[in-house]
Amino acid sequence: AQPGARREAGRRGPLMSGADPPTGEAPQAEPFALKTLRNRGRHKIFLGYAPGVGKTFTMLAEAQRRFKRGEDLVVGFVETHGREGTAEMAEGLPVVPRKQIDYRGKVFEEMDTAAVIARKPEWALVDELAHTNIPGSVHEKRWQSVDEILAAGINVISTVNVQHFESLNDTVYEITNVRVRETLPDSILDRADEVVLVDLTADALINRLNRGVVYDLDKIPGALSNFFRRGNLVALRELALRKTAEEVDESLQEYIDEHEIETPWATEDRVVVCIKAGPVAKKLVRRGYRMAKRMQGKLFVVHVHTPGETLGRHHAELAELFELARNLGGTVVELSGDSEADVILHFAREHRATFVVLGQSRRSRMDEILRGSSLIARIMRETEEIDVLAVADPSKAGKEAG
């Protein structure tokens, strides 16, 4: 995923396109914040779901390729955790010496942020973004040190596990019963210019753990019975996959917006079910669910409130429909507008729908001629890029939907 393409353009374009000041007028000093944004380095993050999936190794492998191509690159801070393969991959790369910090009678090593900036490399490698620095460091968190390096115009390649993001802290606790203390804002990932998922199946990671690749052999039993239980790893892996998918989706939307693409590409199936109170509504929701499940896509259940609609009479029925949609894993969306068709068309295009599911029109052909096209006729006419499914109304045959 490369979600930074749009953000980079947005940061730099307007700041570099200002007109020259009129003749005789002294140019005004550029605000420091704008200078920082203009010169900001690029940030590439290798994202994993647990220790041992290979984030640091993958980062170092890329660093070796860049270094051999002649790019100016330094190691700001890399933690090998005693893994031989990782240590071997780091050999030969230029290293900025770590800063020695005396804390409570012991000497600790942290990244020397000032030295990295003074060195002015093209790229800096910084492992474990969520790490908490030893008291006495300039910044409390390593991600803050990285932010300073980026602000200095230096590109950074870093690593982090999904369980460290603040928004997922409670979810991770519910999954693993382990409260992650070192967290970082989700905005760090959102602002990244490139996010790469380093993936490994749960079984492969457990096998790697059993072989002593991740931890020393004496630590393996405890790890397997706690954080590294297979169920935990499967759930954490899904979180990482979803987080990366969000970044890809955002990147695609930014690209579509930037290039003003009128007919967005369908990267996954998205089923939009349009409902209103009535005998066919539950059938619509269930049909949409089966379609989305079969295609492994997303389900949206949309109700449009229009002027003059009597909400009280149908409130309980709509609440029941919304509950059904949520129970089936769908996203319920309530919208308002003067034209039901306009609202649905806008929503379907904005969310890159691939299917729109509607109930069959009850209006006669003569009624449509006199009063205008039915909802389904208009949507079919104006959505050439979206497939439309009209579900039969069972009430017409004297039967009720089940």
Section 48-65 average pLDDT: 95
Strand-pair category, 194-197 with 270-274: unpaired
Which among 55-59, 359-363, 398-402 has the top mean pLDDT?
55-59
| Mean pLDDT within 73-93 | 94
- The single-letter code of the amino acid at 238 is E
Tokens, residue 17: 């396109």
pLDDT at 364 over 80: no
Position 211 pLDDT exceeds 60: yes
* Residues 282-292 pLDDT 10s: 999 999 998 88
What is the reported pLDDT for 266?
55
pLDDT at 27 over 70: no
The predicted model scores a pTM of 0.61
* 151, pLDDT greater than 50: yes
pLDDT value of residue 132: 95
Ranking 38-42, 49-53, 370-374 by mean pLDDT, the lowest is: 370-374
Strand duo 123-126 + 106-110: pairing: unpaired
Higher-scoring residue by pLDDT: 378, 181: 181
pLDDT greater at residue 155 or residue 9? 155
pLDDT band at 18, cuts 50/70/90? very low
What percentage of the chain carries pLDDT values higher than 70? 78
More confident residue, 3 or 200: 200
Q: What is the mean pLDDT of residues 56-67?
A: 97
Band (pLDDT 50/70/90 cuts) for residue 138 is very high
> Judging by DSSP bridges, how do beta strands 298-305 and 270-274 pair with one another?
parallel
Per-residue pLDDT, averaged over 361-372, amounts to 48
For residue 20, pLDDT over 60 is answered with no
**What pLDDT sits at residue 314?**
76
DSSP string, 155-187: EEEEEEEGGGBGGGHHHHHHHHS------B-TH
Q: Taking a C-beta distance cutoff of 8 angstroms, is the pair 127, 198 a contact? A: no
How would residue 101 be classed by pLDDT, with cut points 50, 70 and 90?
A: very high
**Confidence check: pLDDT of 109 > 80:** yes
Helix (H) or strand (E) holding 373: none
Task: Assess whether pLDDT exceeds 60 at residue 366.
Answer: no
**Predicted local confidence at residue 392, as pLDDT:** 74
Mean pLDDT, rounded, of the chain: 81
Among 67-76, 239-248, 299-308, whose mean pLDDT is lowest?
A: 239-248
Q: Is 174 exposed, middle or buried (0-12, 13-18, 19+ CB in 10 A)?
A: exposed
Which residue has better confidence, 1 or 344?
A: 344
Per-residue model confidence (pLDDT) at position 226: 83
Orientation angle between helical segments 202-210 and 230-258, nearest 10 degrees: 130
Tell me the CA distances in angstroms from 154 to 31, 94, 106, 129, 239, one per residue in order.
20, 15, 32, 16, 30
